[in-house]
């Protein structure tokens, strides 16, 4: 991944683009990378910018320090007015924040779990298409233990990933999972030594970025739509996605490179 700019320590969310990959780094290690209201806005804007940038073909989300993200920071008062003994964040609005935006972006997203994720941080990780986890990291579904529920996608994603029974057990008990348990349950694609998490995510992003970006993004759209469609409806929508791909320069390049036995040079056109 690209090196951090000199003023990176002053940014709570670092955004970088290099070699067709956008990297978002949550950068509040002094408070376990908990996310403030302003950081929600920054993450959303960076995700939208990456999705609209024709040069970006994959998005990596990670954290700095020992944690990926320990959840929302409700102490500062900029999320829903903060918490008090008598009232919760009644005006908390998550409709246009990172987990929701993640579900809508067409660019492939990779979560590099450099450290543990809890609460909102776990939902943020689950919202990514692919998760790679450091062997020292943990996933803490601690929502019900804090008097809340998975507010940012967990109740929708976990039953689809795990099935109803396993998802129910995890959410109702508020369990914390080790990296090995997360891999066994299918919540992450791979577990790597903590020192290798950045390199592993960068290599995976590069592998994705080498392929035809229009085809990759169309594949993601169809996977997302297919979760709520009948087979016949889905096949029809796939055909409609296929027609413009047949007319693309990348399709011609893909076929030519195959016949000429050379690596393709895709341009996203």
Residue ranges of alpha helices (H) inside 113-248 are 120-126, 154-162, 164-173, 179-185, 197-209, 213-226, 231-246
The pTM assigned to this predicted structure is 0.87
Percentage of the chain beyond pLDDT 70 is 89
* Residue 1 pLDDT class (50, 70, 90 cuts): very low
- Based on the structure, what is the number of domains in the chain? 2
- Do 139 and 244 have their domain in common? no
- Do 115 and 225 have their domain in common? no
Q: What is the mean pLDDT of the chain?
A: 88
Q: In this model, does residue 76 exceed pLDDT 70?
A: no
Q: In this model, does residue 84 exceed pLDDT 50?
A: no
Other beta carbons within 10 angstroms of residue 77's beta carbon come to: 14
- Do 182 and 234 have their domain in common? no
Domain contains 268: no
Q: pLDDT digits over 101-160, tens only?
A: 888 999 999 999 999 999 899 999 999 999 999 999 999 988 877 777 887 888 899 999
Q: Is 37 helix (H, G, I), strand (E, B) or coil?
A: helix
Domain contains 128: yes
Q: In this model, does residue 33 exceed pLDDT 90?
A: yes
* Residue 78 pLDDT class (50, 70, 90 cuts): low
Residue 57: HSE in the Cβ half-sphere, 13 Å Cα cutoff:
21
Q: In this model, does residue 14 exceed pLDDT 90?
A: yes
pLDDT at 83: 41
CA 95/CA 214 separation, integer angstroms: 27
Domain contains 91: yes
Domain of residue 248 covers: 213-259
DSSP string, 134-147: ETT-EEE--TGGGT
């Amino acid at each position: 991944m690209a090196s951090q700019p000199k003023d990176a320590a002053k940014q709570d969310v670092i955004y970088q683009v290099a070699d067709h990959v956008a990297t978002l780094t949550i950068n509040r290690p002094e408070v376990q990378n908990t996310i403030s209201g302003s950081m929600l806005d920054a993450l959303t804007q960076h995700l939208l910018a990456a999705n609209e940038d024709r040069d970006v073909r994959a998005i990596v989300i990670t954290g700095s320090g020992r944690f990926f993200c320990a959840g929302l920071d409700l102490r500062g008062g900029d999320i829903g007015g903060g918490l008090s003994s008598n009232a919760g964040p009644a005006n908390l609005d998550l409709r246009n924040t990172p987990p929701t935006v993640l579900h809508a972006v067409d660019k492939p997203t990779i979560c590099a779990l450099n450290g543990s994720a809890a609460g909102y941080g776990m939902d943020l990780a689950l919202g990514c298409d692919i998760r790679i986890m450091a062997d020292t990291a943990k996933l803490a579904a601690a929502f019900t233990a804090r008097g809340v529920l998975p507010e940012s996608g967990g109740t929708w994603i976990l039953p689809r990933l795990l099935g109803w029974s396993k998802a129910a057990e995890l959410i109702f008990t508020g369990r914390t999972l080790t990296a090995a348990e997360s891999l066994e349950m299918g919540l992450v694609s791979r577990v790597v030594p903590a020192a290798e998490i950045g390199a592993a995510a960068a290599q995976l992003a590069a592998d994705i970025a080498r392929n035809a970006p229009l085809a990759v993004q169309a594949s993601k759209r169809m996977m997302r739509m297919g979760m709520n469609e009948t087979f016949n409806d889905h096949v029809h929508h796939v055909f409609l996605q296929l027609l413009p791909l047949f007319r693309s320069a990348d399709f011609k390049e893909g076929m030519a490179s195959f016949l000429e036995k050379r690596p393709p040079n895709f341009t996203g056109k």
